[in-house]
Amino acid sequence: AKRKGKNNFQYFDIVMKSEVDLVNLIKSDLRMALEKEQFFLYYQPLVDVRTGKVTSMEALVRWQHPKKGLLSPNHFIPIAEETRQIIPLGEWVLRKACMQMKEWLNMGYSGLSIAVNISVHQLEQLNFANNVLAILKEVELDPQYLELELTETVLVREMEIAAKNLYKLKEAGVKIIVDDFGAGNSSLRYLQEYMVDGLKIDRSFVNEITKDVNKAIIDAAVLLAHRMKLSVAAEGVETREQLDYLIRCGCDKVQGYYFSKPLPPDEATQIAQKVYQD
């Protein structure tokens, strides 16, 4: 038994060491990845519950790492935030997503908008709003087509800068969405502090919708959103049962594998196309 314990320990030691190695590798490789054009975007549709049509596409970043293969954002976004690489990466994502939206508009899909995930670290930059507006101008995209999804799990340290940025963006017509609603602990504070346009209920509540407590939380979130005149979306919808519940409780938009997983640009375009054909 003693021996086995030791082996187990060594096993975990190796796992932990390779975990640390991976983090270090990502840390150093992140620096060149932008220049080497190793990032790309997938798009996942959000569907309007009432019309059944795609109302927006969420841009989700991917990293084609030369040695590690395709990396999901959970593997590198937290590291990019720590090293501040999220600033140039986030700007790249914004520009790329806005360019894609412009392309869709040129194809005539005017009912669509593009949703982009923003890190709190970006929001705390003095010139963030100006940068976003400059990108919109450069791409010639009307601000009304852009939605910024902000996760509230990380605490905002630079409240004043963040608020100024959000105010400027809202004034220009950009929409602000609180992402992963309910998962953090500052959600309500967020709604009170900033004038947001909508909220997106976290996947964890949708995931176990059969539990009464999750139903109660979803009901409350929808009520709260509508009382505040906000739109309410739910992410991570995988089953008909989940969708039915969300329809019944008055949720406005839904997103998840039940409709579509995140797709490369050409496949996302096909989905948008289908919507505009019927």
CB atoms within 10 A of CB 17: 10
Yes or no: say if 220 and 228 are a contact pair by the CB < 8 Å rule.
Answer: no
Beta bridge partners of 261: none
Q: Work out whether 262 is an interface residue with ligand C2E (CB under 6 A).
A: yes
Interface characters, 198-237, with ligand C2E (x: CB under 6 A): -----x-------------------------------xxx
Q: Please, what's the largest Cα pairwise distance for the chain?
A: 69
Beta bridge partners of 201: 181, 234
Q: Which of 147, 152, 180, 252 binds ligand C2E (CB under 6 A)?
A: 180
How far is residue 206's CA from residue 218's CA, in Å, rounded to a whole number?
8
Rg (CA), the chain: 20
How far is residue 105's CA from residue 48's CA, in Å, rounded to a whole number?
19
Q: Work out whether 60 is an interface residue with ligand C2E (CB under 6 A).
A: yes
- Angle, alpha carbons 119-124-127 (nearest 5°): 110
Return the number of the residue (3 or 240) whose C-beta is nearest ligand C2E: 240
Joined together, the tokens standing for residue 37 give: 């054009």
Joined together, the tokens standing for residue 265 give: 């640009």
Q: Work out whether 257 is an interface residue with ligand C2E (CB under 6 A).
A: yes
Return the number of the residue (108 or 184) whose C-beta is nearest ligand C2E: 184
Q: Work out whether 131 is an interface residue with ligand C2E (CB under 6 A).
A: no
Residue 72 partner contact from ligand C2E, Ca ion, none using kind-dependent CB cut-offs of 5 to 8 Å: ligand C2E
How far is residue 125's CA from residue 236's CA, in Å, rounded to a whole number?
30
- Report CA-CA distances (Å) from 156 to 150, 153, 185, 194: 11, 9, 12, 12
Return the number of the residue (72 or 185) whose C-beta is nearest ligand C2E: 72
Q: Work out whether 91 is an interface residue with ligand C2E (CB under 6 A).
A: no
- Whole-number minimum distance, CB 84 to ligand C2E, in Å? 13
Return the number of the residue (79 or 230) whose C-beta is nearest ligand C2E: 79
Touching Ca ion, residues 166-225 (CB under 5 A): 179-180, 203
- Report CA-CA distances (Å) from 255 to 20, 58, 92, 203: 34, 9, 24, 10
Q: Work out whether 149 is an interface residue with Ca ion (CB under 5 A).
A: yes
- Residue 145 is classified by DSSP as G
Q: Work out whether 61 is an interface residue with ligand C2E (CB under 6 A).
A: yes
How far is residue 97's CA from residue 91's CA, in Å, rounded to a whole number?
10
Residue 124 partner contact from Ca ion, ligand C2E, none using kind-dependent CB cut-offs of 5 to 8 Å: none
Q: Which of 85, 117, 214, 269 binds ligand C2E (CB under 6 A)?
A: 117
Count of residues interacting with ligand C2E (CB under 6 A)? 24
- Whole-number minimum distance, CB 97 to Ca ion, in Å? 12
21 CB-side CA count, 13 A: 7
Please report, as ranges, the residues that interact with ligand C2E according to CB under 6 A: 44, 60-61, 72-74, 77, 90, 93, 117-119, 149, 151, 179-180, 203, 235-238, 256-257, 262
Please report, as ranges, the residues that interact with Ca ion according to CB under 5 A: 117, 149, 151, 179-180, 203
